């Protein structure tokens, strides 16, 4: 049994490792266009490699996938986050779960994760074809012929397409896998960047760039989309986990300078607007001679308080707080509970994953085998699966890679 794996990213690496560890005879031909394996794996998590999520309950973890969660159910139950952690630790990579439930190597080096696979692939049953680009994949009903741009074709019994999406194009994820899948009869759903920063029409975020919040609710009311989590203001808008997750939810909503989408930011998601209003009134009563600007600075940073006062059009933000009308106090609270911004663009080049991909109803969720082309398998981001930031996308790649590896080698 000869199995070709196209793509040396997380899904392809795990598929190859699984074949080697579960089959005594299958041979792997791993085709990668980069000179090194796992390029995107190494740089994920800021170079630390966010291996998986610390959420152990699979049902809870599956809610972190705006697309593909139901499809992932079988693969994730078979190889859940806990099992992924055990696998890497048993292969010599001690892991740690951080407070935000992200899982990293204790060394904080993504290279350690990839090195596991490099050691496993030092085997006579593995042929690594590095710096090789696939031109096309042909299937005659029995065997697959993989035409390479740099050398003679490779003929194999089965193929696993694990080419990733279109994000991080500098790592080789150029979307070729979609073309290969389409040529073999598959439907490719619309594609869009996910987990990207959001740029706003308003320029004032630049004045508070770097200001971060541990928990805020970001929402796009028109799309009924919202997410609560950490975020920060940037020179162009907002970024951070909550912004990334919101961008995933609205990945297919058209956005432009001429067609912005309204976003709201609730800086106090755990408090009702009435409770926050009473809090503000009590602080004013306790410090009646303080300026409203300084009172507001007890809720947010001084620089953000300055912006709020200006944007709200408060006539004199330095006047005593007890001279501010109840109407204006209410307006301040409404801002704290729903800062209005207008998104005009997604952060170019900032996207971590691609939303969309090979249509899931054309792939068996248990085996990852194509329903259109027997002997063809898919794994990872090339599928119409994407998760939020926090290790969920790598977890999906490990799980689908393992499932594809197990079933493709099952004679």
Each residue's pLDDT tens digit, 289-310: 899 889 999 999 999 999 998 9
Global confidence as pTM: 0.91
* Closest CA relative to residue 367, chosen from 406, 399, 398: 406
Residue 369 has pLDDT above 80, yes or no: yes
The pLDDT of residue 77 is 98
Mean pLDDT of the chain: 94
Q: Which residue has the tokens 């079988």?
A: 74
Mean pLDDT across 22-42: 95
pLDDT in tens, 188-246: 999 998 999 999 999 999 999 999 999 999 999 999 999 999 999 999 999 999 999 99
Which residues have C-beta within 8 Å of that of residue 360, sequence separation ≥ 6?
68, 71, 383, 384, 385
pLDDT band at 168 (very low <50, low <70, confident <90, very high): low
Yes or no: say if 237 and 341 are a contact pair by the CB < 8 Å rule: yes
DSSP letter for 150, please: S
Q: Say whether pLDDT at 36 is over 80.
A: yes
Give the three-class secondary structure for 241.
Answer: helix
Task: Judge whether residue 172 has pLDDT over 80.
Answer: no
- The answer to whether domain 2-192+352-408 has CATH 3.50.50.60 is yes
Looking at the chain, how many residues does it have?
Answer: 411
Which of the four pLDDT bands, split at 50, 70 and 90, describes residue 349?
Answer: low
> What are the structural domain ranges in the chain?
2-192+352-408, 196-267+340-346, 273-337
230: Cβ contacts below 8 Å, ≥ 6 apart: 100, 212, 213, 214, 215, 216, 240, 241, 242
The CATH T-level fold of domain 273-337 is Helicase, Ruva Protein; domain 3 (1.10.8)
pLDDT higher than threshold 60 for residue 1: yes
Tell me which CATH code domain 196-267+340-346 carries: 2.40.30
Residue whose token pair is 């439930």: 101
- Give residue for tokens 């432009």: 256
Supply φ then ψ for residue 123, to 5 degrees: -145, 145
Answer yes or no: is pLDDT of 351 > 80.
Answer: no
pLDDT digit string (tens) for 87-134? 999 999 999 999 999 999 999 999 999 999 999 999 999 999 999 999
Coil, strand or helix at 163: coil
Asked if the model's pLDDT at residue 186 lies above 50, the reply is yes
pLDDT (0 to 100) of residue 410: 84
Output the six-digit token pair for 340: 């209005």
């Amino acid at each position: 049994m000869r199995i070709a794996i196209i793509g040396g990213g997380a899904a392809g690496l795990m598929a190859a490792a699984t074949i080697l560890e579960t089959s005594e005879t299958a041979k792997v031909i791993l085709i990668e266009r980069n000179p090194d394996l796992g390029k995107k794996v190494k740089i994920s998590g800021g170079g630390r490699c966010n291996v998986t999520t610390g959420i152990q309950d699979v049902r809870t973890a599956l809610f972190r996938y705006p697309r593909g969660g139901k499809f992932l159910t079988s693969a994730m139950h078979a190889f859940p986050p806990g099992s992924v952690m055990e696998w890497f630790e048993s292969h010599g990579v001690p892991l740690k779960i951080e407070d935000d439930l992200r899982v990293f190597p204790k060394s904080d080096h993504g290279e350690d994760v990839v090195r596991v696979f490099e050691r496993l692939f030092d085997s006579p049953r593995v042929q690594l074809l590095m710096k090789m680009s696939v031109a096309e994949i042909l299937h005659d009903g029995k065997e697959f012929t993989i035409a390479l741009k740099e050398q003679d074709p490779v003929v194999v019994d089965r193929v696993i397409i694990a080419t990733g999406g279109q994000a991080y194009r500098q790592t080789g994820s150029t979307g070729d896998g979609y073309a290969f899948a389409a040529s073999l009869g598959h439907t490719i759903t619309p594609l869009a960047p996910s987990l990207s920063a959001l740029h706003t029409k308003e320029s004032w975020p630049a004045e508070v760039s770097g200001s971060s919040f541990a928990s805020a609710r970001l929402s796009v009311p028109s799309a009924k989309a919202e997410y609560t989590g950490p975020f920060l203001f940037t020179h162009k808008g907002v970024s951070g986990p909550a912004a990334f997750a919101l961008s995933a939810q609205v990945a297919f909503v058209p956005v432009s300078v001429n067609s912005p989408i309204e976003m709201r930011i609730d800086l106090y998601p755990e408090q009702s607007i009435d409770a926050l209003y009473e809090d503000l009134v009590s602080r004013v009563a306790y410090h009646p001679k303080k300026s409203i600007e300084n009172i507001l600075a007890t809720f947010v940073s001084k620089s953000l308080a300055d912006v709020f006062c200006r944007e709200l059009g408060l006539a004199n933000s330095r006047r005593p707080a007890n001279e501010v009308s109840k109407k204006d106090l209410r307006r301040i609270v409404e801002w704290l509970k729903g800062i209005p911004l207008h998104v005009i663009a997604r952060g170019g080049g900032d996207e971590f994953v691609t939303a969309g991909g090979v249509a899931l109803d054309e792939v068996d969720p248990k085996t990852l085998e194509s329903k259109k082309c027997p002997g063809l398998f898919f794994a990872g981001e090339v599928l119409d699966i994407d998760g939020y930031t926090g290790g969920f996308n790598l977890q999906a790649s490990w799980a689908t890679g393992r499932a594809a590896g197990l079933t493709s080698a099952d004679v």
